[in-house]
Amino acid sequence: MKNRRQKIFIFFSLMTLSIVFLVDCQATQNKETSNQEQTTPLSTIRKIKNPETFIEATRNSIETLDLHFMSSTATTCIAYNVYDALLSNSAKNEIAPSLATKIPTIDNQLISIGKEGKTIITFPIRKGVRFHNAAVLMPEDVKYTFTRGIVVGSLSNLCQALTGEGSFKHLIDKLGVMEAYKILDSAIVVNDQAVIFRLNAPFSPFLDIVADNGSQYGILNKKWCIAQGAWPGTAETIKEFVSITDEKNTLHDKMMGTGPFKLESWQQGERLTLQRFDGYWQGPAKIARVIRQIVFDNTVSIQQLQRGDIDFVCLTLPELQQVDGYEGIKAVKDIPSSQLIKMNFNFDMQGDRYLGSKILGDKGTPPDFFGDIDVRKGFCYAFGYETFIKDVLLGGGQKPYGPVLIGYPTANLDNPQYTLDLAKAANHLRKAFGGKVWEKGFKLVIPYSAGSTHRQRALEILQANLKKVNPKFQLELTSLPWAAYVGAIGDKVMPISIFGILPQYRHPYCSLSYHMHSADFYADKQGYSNLAKKKYDPLVERLARTFDKEKLTALSHKLQRLSYEDALSIFHYQVIGQVAMRDWIQGYSIKPFPFLVDYYQIYKK
């Protein structure tokens, strides 16, 4: 088993292959159908349930429908099917035109680099594309989408590239509202049927970022957004929308894209239903409706799959063994996945929901507990990495060696790693807070997402090992529904969150910025923005500007080493995906994210 899994990751680049499950070529299908009609008794013909509807079960509820507030795969996989981006990216990592008719290059003069590296990128916008409300896509929609994303604080990496600041709020604080808006407004301009981005400096991952098939960089309809109460697109109103929270966001429960499916209904915490958009510019999808059903217990999902009440579910390897070989079910095993799970330390915990007395001792923990590097290193040495992979995943994962995923360019196989070592854990925790942690102990309440046995078991392993190090070290576990769990991460109240890195493209900037840049997700949500500004930001920004492979690799390796030295998180495991579906499902393709289903290709037969 071990050798087989090693071979999977030796050839990890196979994750870039798109393997589409088709029964046979069309001629063979027609022939077999004809023969079946002549020779198969009616009583033995398989009955397909809900032939026009694809039903997917998932434990992860959806926290928002607004493209610019999505932070988990539970939501971005919906956006993937509702929106289109300027460019698309195949499972083979091949970029292609989408809402833009051409891929900008220097050769076709759609990219130009001027003095001091100032870069202009032009996207000709496709004509005749319609939104789900029948409005015609215009270049102004593209400009509004990117501008609005930067204003509300979502597209921080592009904000840096276009304005020189990691967030629009920082730009306002530095220059004032009107001057900040003037810079942003002039950085994205419309010229006839094209949108032009004016970058302060070369930004090597730019095309990769906007080629995400709509999962985060989809295009919104400007007039529709404004009619719903979103930012009107004017300088005078911009301040009230800067870094707005999703609770005050009028697009929280709405979607309007150009993709193959449109939103039909959303019952929060229960199900989301999509309807085929017959006016889709690439032609209508094969399936008429998609239901994404929330089922917190995979035991229930397995029973539903066996009955044919659902069509598709992602499972763990132990769960997959319950349906492997079951009549009418197709199991897809050992899928190399572009998904890294990590335990993230919150350096500056907000509120007191999980901190008790907020004082070291048997009743609480201070908010800056994980601000002490010896606490973080002690926790890193206290986790049972191999135990988790062997006993919980049954081998269905691999220990990462840093924030750049195994199999990706510039991933450093020689990067130092933490391993289970309770003696080293004790040494660091003895030094934490000048010896007070060891003397007084602590009590932390750590949530996990309801129904996630992986998260629960991981925390139980950490809990037991810390207790071995010192009986005064207390972790108390509790559960939260998925949407509340994601919300608690956003509110910065959780001491430790188990969340991931799911790079949308293979350039190391994607993972390293997300993990380490002060204006990006983890540094902001986990409270180490100040550390990032001093140590990581200059390196991440140099990484974004370089096209030289050797320099790119050197910078990537340095950042990976700093992540280890500063113990920003516990690198938990890299996923090996397992999915199960009814055998009447056709068109499912293996992508770097096995759970991301391209509904456009799905049909039943």
- Boundaries of every domain in the chain: 2-54+296-333+578-604, 84-248, 337-576
Q: Is 209 left (phi over 0), alpha (psi -120 to 50) or beta?
A: alpha
Residues ≥6 apart with Cβ < 8 Å to 411: 401, 402, 404, 405, 556, 560
- Which residues in 100-131 are b (16+ Cβ under 10 Å) and which e? beebbeeeeebbeeeeeeebebbbbbbeebeb
Pairwise CA distance, residues 288 & 587, whole Å:
14
pLDDT value of residue 244: 86
pLDDT tens readout for residues 162-175: 998 888 998 999 99
Report the 10 Å Cβ neighbour count for 28: 10
pLDDT value of residue 152: 92
- Which residues in 280-306 are b (16+ Cβ under 10 Å) and which e? bbeeebbbbbbbbbbbbebeebbebbb
Which single residue is written with the structure tokens 């598709």? 312
Pairwise CA distance, residues 148 & 155, whole Å:
9
Pairwise CA distance, residues 503 & 157, whole Å:
14
| Contact by Cβ (8 Å): 257, 220 | yes
- What is the percentage of the chain residues whose pLDDT exceeds 70? 92
Overall average pLDDT of the 280-294 stretch: 97
Among 387, 392, 382, 385, smallest CA distance to 473 is for: 382
- What is the percentage of the chain residues whose pLDDT exceeds 90? 73
* Topology agreement, domain 2-54+296-333+578-604 and domain 337-576: no
Please say if the pLDDT value at position 42 is more than 90: no
Pairwise CA distance, residues 156 & 529, whole Å:
13
Among 537, 543, 546, smallest CA distance to 556 is for: 543
Domain 337-576 has CATH 3.10.105.10: yes
pLDDT value of residue 483: 85
pLDDT tens readout for residues 498-536: 999 888 778 899 899 999 999 888 999 999 999 999 999
pLDDT tens readout for residues 233-256: 999 999 999 978 888 899 999 999
Pairwise CA distance, residues 397 & 321, whole Å:
16
pLDDT tens readout for residues 131-155: 999 999 999 999 999 999 999 988 8
Please say if the pLDDT value at position 279 is more than 60: yes
| 522 burial level (CB within 10 Å; 0-12, 13-18, 19+) | buried
Domain 2-54+296-333+578-604 has CATH 3.40.190: yes
Greater confidence (473 vs 158) lies with 473
Please say if the pLDDT value at position 357 is more than 60: yes
Task: Pick from 202-211, 283-292, 312-321, 546-555 the range whose average pLDDT is largest.
Answer: 283-292
pLDDT tens readout for residues 45-104: 468 999 999 999 998 888 899 999 987 877 889 999 999 999 998 867 789 999 999 999
Could you say which architecture CATH assigns to the domain 84-248? Alpha-Beta Complex (3.90)
* Average pLDDT value for the chain: 89
Band of the pLDDT at 35, cuts 50, 70, 90? Answer: very low
Q: Which two tokens stand for residue 174?
A: 């530095």
Pairwise CA distance, residues 425 & 374, whole Å:
9
| Contact by Cβ (8 Å): 367, 598 | no
CA-based torsion, 285, 291, 296, 298: positive or negative:
negative
Pairwise CA distance, residues 299 & 323, whole Å:
11
Among 431, 495, 488, smallest CA distance to 459 is for: 495
Please say if the pLDDT value at position 25 is more than 60: no
Please say if the pLDDT value at position 593 is more than 80: no
Please say if the pLDDT value at position 387 is more than 80: yes
pLDDT value of residue 71: 79
pLDDT value of residue 534: 95
Residues ≥6 apart with Cβ < 8 Å to 130: 136, 137, 258, 279, 281
Band of the pLDDT at 322, cuts 50, 70, 90? Answer: very high
Q: What is the pTM of this model?
A: 0.80
